[in-house]
């Protein structure tokens, strides 16, 4: 979920990509060393070997204390599907049997459900299994067969003798709703001991950010970027320190996020006029089945894998807020 701190970090990453188009291991657009930080300067930035007075420039991103206008969230706070995780596992229904199949070399992901289509004849009517990365078609079939009354697993094929079996495989979906829409003012500051370097850095950053109306936040959503003002801070010239501040308003949403598996089983009634109705479907798997607990665990692993795929690949921050190369 996005908050004001993470939006500021996204802005810092954005500045890093502007100043280092070939990555932090490459050369900056000015040819000078530029350190980017989510936060203020540290004492070491002024007095250590690598400091402003030794041809190292700094760009910092901080929140500015200013009252911003209120923004109303969508009326009713409706839910919407933001992203889906498609299953890499499937089923092949042949006659009264269900075969579990995996898609090539992809990591197994998804939930498989099987149910008896000749209800009502007693027994456990359905079963579901959340596939994990360690599973094979055979282990999934065995788990499903064990959850069905009279279920039999023959390799990757599930069946119930003298019963009609059906099946389906689904993925996961992320539903979100906006619980708050807000605006926050951010200060992008350029610090250098060279007034000419300040002009060069400022020109590159200002031009690049002026072209952007939106920036991508760390959760893959968007924040609206609006320029507010710019000012030079030359009160530290006696210390050979030149600074320029750019102020940007960022408008972003606070989201409530809910992950769930795709609907696999359900029941209902068809109605065709007064007194004419027919039931359909099967009951959802009960608590004894693996879907209730293990499915949640499997889903969290999938979610974590998607979250790890950052919008700003190769970038991270150290404990001081300095933007660094991931793994560097």
276 and 239 both lie in a single domain: no
Domain-embedded: residue 299: no
216 and 139 both lie in a single domain: no
* Mean pLDDT of the residues in the chain: 83
158 and 273 both lie in a single domain: yes
96 and 159 both lie in a single domain: yes
163 and 27 both lie in a single domain: no
Q: What is the 3-state secondary structure (H, E, C) of 226-284?
A: EEEEEEEECCCHHHCCEEEEEEEEEEEEEEEEEEEECCCCCEEEEECCCCCEEEEECCC
Q: Helices 195-210 & 4-19, crossing angle to 10 degrees?
A: 110
What CATH number should be reported for the domain holding residue 228? 3.30.2000
249 and 267 both lie in a single domain: no
Q: Which residues of 114-128 are buried (b: 16+ CB within 10 A; e: fewer)?
A: bbbeebeeeebbbbb
Band (pLDDT 50/70/90 cuts) for residue 49 is low
Domain-embedded: residue 75: no
pLDDT per residue over 144-162, tens digit each? 999 888 899 999 999 999 8
Domain-embedded: residue 142: yes
- Quick check: 83 pLDDT over 90? no
Radius of gyration of the chain (CA): 28
**pLDDT for residue 270:** 65
Domain-embedded: residue 201: yes
Residue bearing the bigger pLDDT, 304 or 115: 115
**pLDDT for residue 288:** 46
The pTM of the full predicted model, rounded to 2 decimals, is 0.70
pLDDT per residue over 289-311, tens digit each? 445 455 556 666 666 555 545 67
218 and 317 both lie in a single domain: yes
Total of domains in the chain: 2
**pLDDT for residue 287:** 42
Q: The domain containing residue 162 runs over which residues?
A: 87-170+263-292
155 and 278 both lie in a single domain: yes
Domain-embedded: residue 54: yes
278 and 157 both lie in a single domain: yes
Domain-embedded: residue 206: yes
pLDDT per residue over 198-250, tens digit each? 999 999 999 999 999 999 998 888 999 999 999 998 877 666 788 999 999 99
DSSP assignment string, 113-138: EEEESS-SSSS--EEEEEE-TT--HH
28 and 163 both lie in a single domain: no
**pLDDT for residue 289:** 45
112 and 219 both lie in a single domain: no
Domain-embedded: residue 278: yes
pLDDT (mean) for 155-177: 90
Number of residues that make up the chain: 328
- In 47-171 the beta strands, taken as DSSP E runs, fall at 56-63, 80-85, 89-94, 97-102, 110-116, 126-131, 152-154, 157-159, 165-170
196 and 250 both lie in a single domain: yes
Domain-embedded: residue 280: yes
């Amino acid at each position: 979920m996005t908050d004001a701190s993470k939006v500021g970090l996204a802005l810092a990453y954005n500045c890093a990509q502007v100043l280092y188009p070939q990555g932090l291991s490459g050369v900056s657009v000015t040819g000078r060393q530029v350190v980017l930080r989510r936060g203020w300067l540290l004492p070491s930035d002024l007095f250590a070997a690598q400091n402003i007075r030794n041809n190292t420039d700094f760009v910092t991103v901080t929140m500015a204390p200013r009252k911003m206008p209120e923004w109303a969230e969508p009326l009713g706070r409706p839910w919407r599907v933001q992203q889906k995780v498609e299953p890499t596992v499937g089923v092949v229904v042949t006659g009264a049997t269900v075969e579990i199949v995996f898609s090539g070399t992809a990591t197994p992901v998804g939930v498989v459900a099987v149910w008896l289509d000749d209800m009502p004849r007693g027994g456990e009517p359905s079963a579901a299994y959340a596939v994990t990365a360690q599973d094979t078609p055979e282990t999934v079939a065995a788990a499903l067969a064990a959850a069905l009354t009279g279920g039999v697993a023959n390799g990757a094929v599930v069946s119930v003798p003298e019963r009609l079996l059906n099946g389906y495989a689904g993925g996961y979906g992320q539903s979100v709703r906006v619980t708050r829409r807000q605006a926050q003012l951010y200060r992008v500051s350029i610090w250098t001991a060279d007034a000419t370097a300040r002009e060069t850095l400022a020109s590159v950053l200002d031009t690049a950010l002026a072209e952007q109306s939106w920036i991508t936040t760390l959760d893959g959503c968007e924040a609206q970027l609006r320029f507010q003002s710019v000012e030079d801070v030359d009160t530290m010239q006696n210390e050979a320190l030149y600074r320029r501040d750019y102020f940007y308003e960022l408008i972003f949403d606070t989201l409530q996020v809910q992950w769930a598996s795709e609907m696999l089983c359900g029941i209902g009634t068809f109605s065709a006029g007064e007194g004419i109705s027919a039931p359909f479907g099967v009951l959802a798997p009960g608590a004894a089945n693996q879907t209730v607990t293990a499915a949640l665990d499997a889903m969290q692993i999938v979610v974590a894998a998607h979250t790890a795929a950052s919008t700003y690949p190769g970038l991270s921050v150290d404990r001081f807020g300095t933007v660094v190369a991931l793994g560097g």
